[in-house]
Structure formats: C-alpha cells, structure tokens
C-alpha cells in the first residue's frame, strides 16, 4: 500500500495492492489544556488563532487575534487525565463543513427563498424583508431544541 499526500485535496490517498484508490479525510486537530475532569467528561481549553497567529510580529500587529474555547469531550480514560495536561482534541473534517452549513448555508438559503416568495406574493420589499428574517426564528429554534442530538453528532475525541 502506498501513501500519497495531496496538498490540493488535503486528503490522504491510499493506493492498495490492486490499484484501488481510497481517500481518507483528515481530522481537524487542536492542542489544548485539560481544564477539568468530571467522571467521563473532560473540559479542554483550546486557543483558536487567526491565520497569522504564528507570525513573529503578532504581538504588535492588530490583525492577529486569538480566543480561548472550552470544549467538552466524553473520554473513557478520563481518570488518567489531570488538569493542566496538554492533549490533542480532534474532530472529523466533514463535521466542520456540516457546522458551517447548519449555521450559515441553510439560513442564507431560507432567507433568500422567503424573500423571493414574499416579494412575488405581495410585491412589497418591506414585507419580503420581514418575512425573510422571520423565517430564521423557527429555524434557529429548531436548532436550539435539537442541540443535544447535534452535540452527539459533533463529538470531539481526545488523542493523548
């Protein structure tokens, strides 16, 4: 089996003995520090940095920004972790795209559809604008009500 890394696709490509090609998506990984351990739940603090976060001039540049995020991870070996320990938190790459679609893609699509439909039915731009914004309320309410199921689907894992 041969491993080929493609920078364009950002996938790992395995070429098997019979010539078949299998693409495996990469994980999204962040290093973090264990904040607390409660039973099987581990809270990990990760620092998200902008693209220029690794630049030498980031301390004097206003463009560089970073912020801390607290991520809850269910981990079977949680008792072996202690606060302050450095771990790697990973998630599948497709989960990032799904999250973007849920947070931005579908709402924009709903907004446009509602705007066009309301303007066609009423001929009023004001009503179209109000209707397009109003359609987002039930959408985000459904997301809020389904947050536990979404949380299960968007699980992270710890790589020690």
In the block, tokens 């795209």 appear at 97
Give the C-alpha separation, 31 to 45, whole Å: 9
DSSP 64: -
Question: Residue 86 pairs with which residues in a beta bridge?
Answer: 33
pLDDT at 17: 44
pLDDT score of 144 more than 50 = yes
pLDDT tens figures, 20-64: 444 445 777 888 888 888 888 888 888 766 555 556 555 555 555
Q: Do β-strands 11-15 and 66-74 pair in parallel, antiparallel, or remain unpaired?
A: unpaired
User: Which carries the bigger pLDDT value, residue 66 or residue 38?
Assistant: 38
pLDDT score of 111 more than 80 = yes
- Residue 33 has which token pair? 């520090």
Question: Residue 73 pairs with which residues in a beta bridge?
Answer: 42
- Residue 102 has which token pair? 């849920």
pLDDT tens figures, 67-110: 778 888 888 888 888 888 888 888 877 787 888 898 899 999 99
- 144: left (phi > 0), else alpha (psi -120 to 50), else beta? alpha
């Amino acid at each position: 089996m041969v491993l080929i890394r493609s920078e364009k696709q950002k996938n790992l490509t395995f070429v098997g003995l019979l010539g078949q090609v299998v693409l495996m998506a990469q994980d999204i990984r962040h290093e973090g520090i264990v904040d607390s351990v409660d039973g099987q739940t581990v809270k990990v603090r990760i620092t998200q940095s902008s693209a220029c976060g690794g630049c030498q001039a980031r301390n004097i540049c206003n463009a560089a920004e970073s912020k801390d995020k607290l991520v809850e991870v269910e981990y079977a070996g949680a008792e072996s972790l202690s606060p302050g320990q450095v771990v790697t938190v990973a998630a599948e790459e497709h989960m990032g795209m799904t999250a973007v679609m849920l947070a931005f893609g579908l709402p924009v699509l709903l907004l446009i559809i509602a705007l066009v439909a309301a303007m066609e039915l009423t001929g009023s731009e004001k009503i179209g604008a109000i209707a397009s914004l109003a359609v987002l309320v039930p959408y985000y309410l459904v997301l809020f009500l389904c947050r536990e199921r979404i949380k299960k689907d968007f699980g992270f894992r710890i790589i020690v």
